[in-house]
Every structure is written in structure tokens, then in C-alpha cells.
Structure 1
Amino acid sequence: MTQPPDSEKGILYPREQARHRSLHRLAPGPSAARFVEWYWIVEWDLETPYTAEVLPFPSVNVTFEQPGGAFVNGVSTVKFSRELRGRGRVFGVKFWAGGFGAITGLDVGSFRDEVLPLTAIFPDGDKLSDLMFEAPSDERRRAVFEAFLRDHLVPVDPSYELVREIVTTMATDRSLARVDEITSRFDVPVRTLQRLFRRYVGVGPKWVLRRYRLHDGAELLAQGEVAELAELSASLGYFDQAHFSKEFKQQIGLTPLEYATRAAAERQITYR
């Protein structure tokens, strides 16, 4: 199995969060890897509540939460906040962007920004939940989920494979800043690209591209790797620093400078 990346992308204030909860990931098995990017496990045991914040990926997640239940989490277009209190645990399944729509045949945009009971999507979800909560280890939970997934596997879908390739390129190539660069590289008309993203991802290609560039910016700021915000803005494809700062604050709640300053305080260094 290819190991999932040891990345903090999407996690806001990662060092602060790490003091309040644990996080580790598992790779999917071969049969599930077309649809599942990785499994993630978060645990906490707190005397004082803590609010964890994440800038989500353009992905559907299935979560098995103790306490709580089992849920399908649609693509979230806003910052996700979760108050952690007492003792708790979540076993999550992060699908590739488009993967959940491909395997279920659903228009994932229809439950964008929503959290649904697992049974709202899978009628036999209760049985799966029981097996997941009874499993003695995370490796066994992975096996249980993938056995369930095998009963729902669909034939190879060329359109989904194209969407996955495009989204992966968006995520990894920081030089991409505009949708027309995507349509040119993959020789896909813009209307076709928009239609494919609505069907499989649930949000438009422009939104996905901007979300990944915000991930890049937040990660670099959190790591203290930014000398000049104007240079960062330009490298991420923004017209100027003002546009980047506005979008960053809209999505994260702080300006880039405020976010960098808070991250620097955690590292006990002075941010320029």
C-alpha cells in the first residue's frame, strides 16, 4: 500500500491542534484505492474543550464517531469547526474528489455543506456501523469498510478517472492558478469541465483550484516559510496581495499576516 502523505494541509493552527488531539492516517487497500484517498483517525481526551478548525478538501468524508454515530459529510465550502470535549474518537474515510459520486452515482452537489446519516445514502448503513464500532483495531475497521465497499464497486468510469487526474494536478501543481490553464493542459472544453465537476465533485473547478491555493498559502504561513506576503500572493496566482488577503480572511477568519503571526507565536519566533 502507498502510504498517505504526512501533510498538515487543510489543518488550521496545526501545532496547536496537535497538543489537543492525535491524528494518524491509514492507506486504502488495492480494491478501494480508486475511490478512497486515505483513512484518518482522530482521538482526544480533554479536561477543557478545544475547537479544532479545518479548511476542508473538496472531498466527501464518511465518519464513524464515538460518541455520535455514522455520517456522510458532503463537500464543505466553508471552514469546518468542531468542538472537542471530554473523550472522543473519529474514524474517517476521505474519498478522492469525485470518488464518492462515482461509486454511488449520486450528484454530490445535492448535499454540499450538509452532514447526513450514513443510512440516508446506504440503506444497510446500520449494519456497517455496528461492524465498524465492534472492530478491535483501525486496521480491522479498514477491512470492514472495504468489504462493504466491494459490494458497491462500479465499473471503471473514464469520466471519473479524468476528474481525479485533474483534481490531483490542481492539488500538487502550485503554478496552476486559472481554469483556462486546466482546460488547455487537459484539452477539455470549459463547459465540459464544469459539468464533470458538478456531477462528481459537487463544486466548480474554479472553487477547487482556489481552495488548493489557499491550502498552499496557509501551510506555508504556518511553517514560517513566507518572507513577503506580496510574493506569496503572486506565486499562488492572485492578482495582488489585497485579493489574496480578502479571500484568505473570508475563508479562514484571519488575514494572512494575522494567521502567520499566530503561527509564529506558537513556534516562538518573530514573524517578519
Structure 2
Amino acid sequence: MEFGQGCGILRHSPPPGAYHHRRYAPPAALADWVAHFWLEHWQFESDVPQTREVLPHPSVHVVFAPGRSRIYGVQLSRFVRQLEGKGCIFGIKFHPGAFYPFLRRPVSGISNTSILAAEVFSNAAAAEKEVLTCPQDRHMVQAAANFLAAHLPSRDPRVDDARHAVEQIARDRSVTRVEHLVVRCGIGERTLQRLFDRYVGASPRWVIKRYRIYEALESVAAGTRAEWTDLAQELGYFDQSHFINDFKKLVGCSPTEYAEPLA
């Protein structure tokens, strides 16, 4: 099953040529661990590099790339890549909290960085070759699923707690403060902070802000022309200036500047 693109893409203007990004649902046996598999390949007609800029979700990714397969922790700011020429990479996006049993140390330790896939998976090089040499997308998905299924750790009930907490934030825009999440999860704030540090890789406050900014971006993308003050209040900000400052830090420009291409 192929998925849609979802949110998180800020800027993406490929030069002449072909570019494809597709997402695929995991098999049932991996559904508790994996949000989706994704495949990106491109072949540009010129030597002009393309800048792809995204605002990532609070998830860990295992990425297979020729000779450089890595595990990417939660990226706390914008993630910018340069694509040029011809290439193909394949990724596994884990549910928030679900990578901790593989890593066996606080996921916050790899936030804003990446590590070699071989540091966690001893046969990563062989898996990289098998996945990337498959002739069709479905074969790549199957090869990656087989690889991961062979490495599944024991179930950890705290993974479900972490995932549930993040889902509460993602689904309910009224969750705008950590104390709101404390009430919904029924655990103390310090316990919640430790849970997010160990399993998610970012603080509850950071995750809340990230999802509220996603909603602001969606409003702009939909052509909504609400007053920024009203939007800031809807998303739980104390005032418009705090909202605009956060927006600038994450997106790289003000809401008004970001909306200009839609005018």
C-alpha cells in the first residue's frame, strides 16, 4: 500500500528531471514498530543541486544509502539536504518511542545527529546491498521488512506509553502545554520528561510546539488567511510575538513571508 506525502516538507523545488518520493505501509508484524517505509530516487538533467528542506517528525529513521547507511535521530531543527545527479535511498521511519528497544540507550543521545547503521545492526552493510539492488519498490520493502523482522527486540510496554503520549499531541490541538499532556497521560511531569528523553528523543514541550507549528503550516498551505494573532491563540501561544519567533526559528522566515508564494 502506498501512502501520501504527509506534512513536514517546507521547500522542495527540483530542477529539470525526475524526482519521486513514495511511502509504503509496513507488514502487520512490524506495524507496532514502523510508521512506514519510504523510497526516494532522483535523476536530474543538470548539475544544479536541489535543496530539499523539511521539518521532521519526532521519529528515528534507518536510512539505506550506497556506502553510507545511517540511523538518524530526531532532528530538532530544519533538516536540509542537497540532491544532485542521480541517486536512490530507502528509509524506515519508526513510530515515536519505538526505536529505543533497538538502541538500548536514551534516544535523546542521537538527537540532531546520526550514527552508522552498523552500530546497531551488525549486518547493515549486507542489508544495504540487498535492499538497494532490488529491481522493484515492493521487493525493496520486503527486503527491508525481512531485515528488521530478524532484529526485533522484546516488547517494552513503555514504548506504547511514549507513542500514546505523542499521538495525544498530534491528534488534539488543544494540547498546547505540558500540563495538558500530564493530565491526559495520568503521570507526573518529571516521569513524562524522563519518558520522552529516553524513548522519544525530544522533550514534551518540543513535541507540542512541533505539532502546533505543523498546524500553522497546514493553515498557510490551505490558503487560510486568518489573523496571525488568532492563529497564535488557537495554537496555545501566549501572544503573537512568541508564535512568530518560534515560526521563524523552525521555518526560517515569518508566517507572512512563508505565505507570500500562495498570494
TM-score, length-normalised on structure 1? 0.89
Segments of 5+ residues of structure 1 without an aligned counterpart are 265-269
Tell me the distance in 2 between the aligned counterparts of 1:11 and 1:259. Answer: 13
Asked whether the 8 Å contact 2:37–2:92 carries over to 1, the reply is yes
Superposed counterparts of 1:160-171, under 5 Å: 160-171=159-170
Residue 213 of structure 1 corresponds to 212
SS in 2 for 1:63: strand
Tell me the distance in 1 between the aligned counterparts of 2:69 and 2:137. Answer: 15
Superposed counterparts of 1:22-41, under 5 Å: 22-41=20-39
Tell me the distance in 2 between the aligned counterparts of 1:102 and 1:216. Answer: 30
Q: Relative to 1, partners in 2 of residues 1:226 and 1:38: Cα closer, same or farther, differing over 3 Å?
A: farther
Residue 239 of structure 2 corresponds to 240
Asked whether the 8 Å contact 2:97–2:199 carries over to 1, the reply is yes
Residue 129 of structure 2 corresponds to 130
Q: Which moved more, 1:109-118 or 1:50-59?
A: 109-118
Asked whether the 8 Å contact 2:95–2:163 carries over to 1, the reply is yes
Q: Which moved more, 1:149-158 or 1:16-25?
A: 16-25
Residue 11 of structure 2 corresponds to 13
Tell me the distance in 2 between the aligned counterparts of 1:151 and 1:178. Answer: 39
The residue type paired with residue 146 of structure 1 is: A
SS in 2 for 1:69: coil
Once the 2 structures are TM-superposed, how far is the Cα of residue 217 of structure 1 from its aligned partner? Answer: 1.0
Residue 257 of structure 2 corresponds to 258
The count of aligned residue pairs is 260
Deviations 1:68-107 (A, max 9, x none): 5311111111100011111122211111111111333232
Asked whether the 8 Å contact 1:31–1:146 carries over to 2, the reply is no
Q: Which moved more, 1:192-201 or 1:107-116?
A: 107-116
Superposed counterparts of 1:23-62, under 5 Å: 23-46=21-44, 47=46, 48-62=48-62
Asked whether the 8 Å contact 2:58–2:200 carries over to 1, the reply is yes
Q: Relative to 1, partners in 2 of residues 1:17 and 1:101: Cα closer, same or farther, differing over 3 Å?
A: farther
Between the aligned residues of both structures, percent identity stands at 36
TM-score, length-normalised on structure 2? 0.92
Asked whether the 8 Å contact 1:103–1:153 carries over to 2, the reply is yes
Asked whether the 8 Å contact 2:49–2:82 carries over to 1, the reply is yes
Residue 71 of structure 1 corresponds to 70
Segments of 5+ residues of structure 2 without an aligned counterpart are none
Once the 2 structures are TM-superposed, how far is the Cα of residue 53 of structure 1 from its aligned partner? Answer: 0.3
The residue type paired with residue 19 of structure 2 is: R
Q: What is the RMSD of the two structures over their aligned residues, measured on CA atoms?
A: 1.9
